[in-house]
Amino acid sequence: MPGFELFGESEKSQVQDVLDSGVLMRYGFDGMRNNHWKALELEEALTKRMDSKYAQLVSSGTAALTVALASAGVGAGDEVIMPTFTFVASFESILAIGAIPILVDVDETLTLSPKAVESAITDKTKVVMPVHMCGSMANLGALKVICDTHNLLLLEDACQAIGGSYNGKPLGSYGDLGCFSFDYVKTITCGEGGAIITNNETYKTNADHYSDHGHDHVGNNRGAETHPFLGYNFRISELHAAVGCAQIERLDDFLSIQKKNYTVLRDSLSPLKNITFRKVPTGGVENYSFLSFFLPNQEKAKAAHVALGEAGVDACFYWFDNNWHYYKEWEHLTSKRSLGKLPQEVVNQLPDYSESDFSKSDAWIGRTISCLVKLSWTEEEVVERASRMKGVLSKFS
């Protein structure tokens, strides 16, 4: 991770196809494009790789979450349960449709705690949205039972975990809907882009229309298409999709490299008594994009993170103080700061997160360091990095 580390001739060839046709838009201009439909090609590849009936490409991972929620009829005043540890896009997508983000604690998986989810359910809850952070997954089996019991949608945010699996199913395909990001720093990239996968034909149709101003895409005359319902513009371009067409074909190679490098790092740290690793649920297989581990306490984790940087071990993250990925720094959400007026449902229903007790999350995230696993490392670089990490971390017992 990320896929841009290994850009090559296949990406160039796919993009050149689009430039040669001159058609950069995914819809219309049938006669000009020489039968090049890169978005459709990538959607077909995603359905095969992700073992799903349908895929819908959109402009970003954030757009994917927004469109997925809208496609399932989630809207104003509906509550969506999400974790305290995630990227800000999680609550942005929920707020974008007037729904209410309900933050709950994470556990030793660094993802949604099923116990916390169960306690947060109200008569307004519509969706449980686990976020498979840093390449590994939530306890999807437990969450599925909760969703089935309470008649809730299970929406997987697999933006950071494409290629991982749970009980033999690709991440994103276990729930009712799954979302991916193909931004510049993801395991496979389009530069900018995202996708929704589902086995529900209605959700697919809704996502297709909603992401393109409500166009029904019937026939081959774009100007004659009708608008069954309101939509917005979350389209991906053919140029971005073309990059993705090349990258999806390389996903399994990328995963193999990540696993090899991850294993070298983990094997080096495993003998250290002061280090424990994040829990991967039984039946889960990571995509190996990050190695995440716990130090004995918050003070040592923070100091170890600094020491790793000083030792030249880059791309390690201490999420507890991170502006974008942990609830503690989300003042704009807590204070409801917006350029315009928020929907009244949001004003009335959004919890006062400045008063919330997320100490259970703090106990895990405060001890966590996550180290990015790069695709471009040589074998010598991985071994050297492993040695440096072990030397630094052994001092924080």
Place of tokens 């995914």: 26
Bridge partners (DSSP) of residue 112 are 106
- Tokens in use for 258? 């990540």
DSSP tag of 236: P
Pairing of strands 165-166, 100-104: unpaired
Kindly name the residue from 38, 126, 186, 204 that is annotated as catalytic: 186
Question: In this structure, what token pair is assigned to residue 123?
Answer: 């008569």
Three-class SS of residue 157?
Answer: strand
**Burial group, residue 376, by CB count within 10 angstroms (0-12, 13-18, 19+):** exposed
- For residue 356, count CB atoms less than 10 angstroms from its CB and return exposed for 0-12, middle for 13-18, buried for 19 or more: middle
Residue partners of 366: CB distance under 8 A and separation at least 6? 297, 298, 301, 320
Half-sphere CA count of 84, side-chain side, radius 13 A? 30
- DSSP 8-state assignment for residue 239: H
48 is catalytic: no
- Give the Cα-Cα-Cα angle 17, 23, 24 (nearest 5 degrees): 90
Q: Could you identify the residue written with the tokens 């589902």?
A: 198
Which residues touch 364 (CB under 8 Å, ≥6 apart)? Answer: 106, 107, 108, 110, 294
DSSP letter for each residue of 199-222: S-HHHHHHHHHHTBTT----SS-G
Quick one: how far is CA 393 from the chain centroid?
A: 29
Q: Which residues pair with 233 in a beta bridge?
A: 212
Distances (CA, A) of 109 to 12, 65, 77, 139: 38, 22, 29, 8
* Catalytic positions, written as ranges: 186
